Amino acid sequence: VIESFVECIERPQLNPSVPVSINRALVDCEVAGKEVKAGTRLVLPIGQMMQESYEEGQKFMPERWLTPSGDSIDEEKRLEFIAFGFGPRQCPGRHLAIRELLCNAALLLRNFDHFRLHDDQVVSPKFSNPLTTCPKNLVVRMRCRAP
């Protein structure tokens, strides 16, 4: 169960590093009642889409990705995860990024036993450039584990 739980990809669902996806319509189609011609550039707010797709989408709930029994990742829900884009232009480094998140989390948990945000700190993403976000002025207090 623990292996499945660490695979729950909640952080990028809440605040994807790249909160928008820029694509082109491949064929004439209709989007939200509007006619869209092939070749039209579409800017998709994937961060907002992912938060609005789930009940309590702005809450940290890693268990939302598990099967009802809680023992594995729900593969259908994994397909809904679009923080790394989707389709033929999906981020080729997505698996590496998730593995880095897991490795860094494991190292932090192994070496520290107390994490706390600075008093009264609210963490919210800020744009670091026109396309990506990261927390600004984030202060975390940590205590090293005893050897």
Note the pLDDT tens digit of each residue in 79-108: 667 777 777 778 888 888 878 877 887 888
User: C-alpha angle with apex 56: 50 to 62, nearest 5 degrees?
Assistant: 75
The CA-based dihedral angle spanning residues 53, 56, 61, 66, taken in that order and rounded to the nearest 10 degrees:
-50
Direct distance between the N- and C-terminal alpha carbons of the chain, in angstroms, rounded to an integer: 28
* Region of 68 on the Ramachandran plot (φ > 0 left; ψ -120 to 50 alpha; else beta): alpha
> Is 103 annotated among the ligand-binding residues?
no
The reported pLDDT for the residue numbered 1 is 46
* 118 Cβ contact list (under 8 Å, min separation 6): 139, 140, 141
Higher pLDDT, 98 or 5: 98
For residue 10, pLDDT over 70 is answered with no
How do beta strands 133-135 and 125-127 pair?
antiparallel
The reported pLDDT for the residue numbered 58 is 72
The reported pLDDT for the residue numbered 121 is 67
| Residues belonging to the chain | 147
- The two tokens of residue 33 are 């009642």
The reported pLDDT for the residue numbered 67 is 75
pLDDT in tens, 117-131: 777 766 666 666 666
Backbone phi and psi for residue 110, each to the nearest 5 degrees, phi listed first:
-70, -35
* 136 Cβ contact list (under 8 Å, min separation 6): 126, 128
Contact 111, 145 (CB under 8 A): yes
The reported pLDDT for the residue numbered 13 is 60
* 8 Cβ contact list (under 8 Å, min separation 6): 62, 63, 64, 65, 66, 73
**Confidence grade of residue 38 (pLDDT, cut at 50, 70, 90):** very high
For residue 23, pLDDT over 50 is answered with yes
The reported pLDDT for the residue numbered 130 is 61
Higher pLDDT, 2 or 26: 26
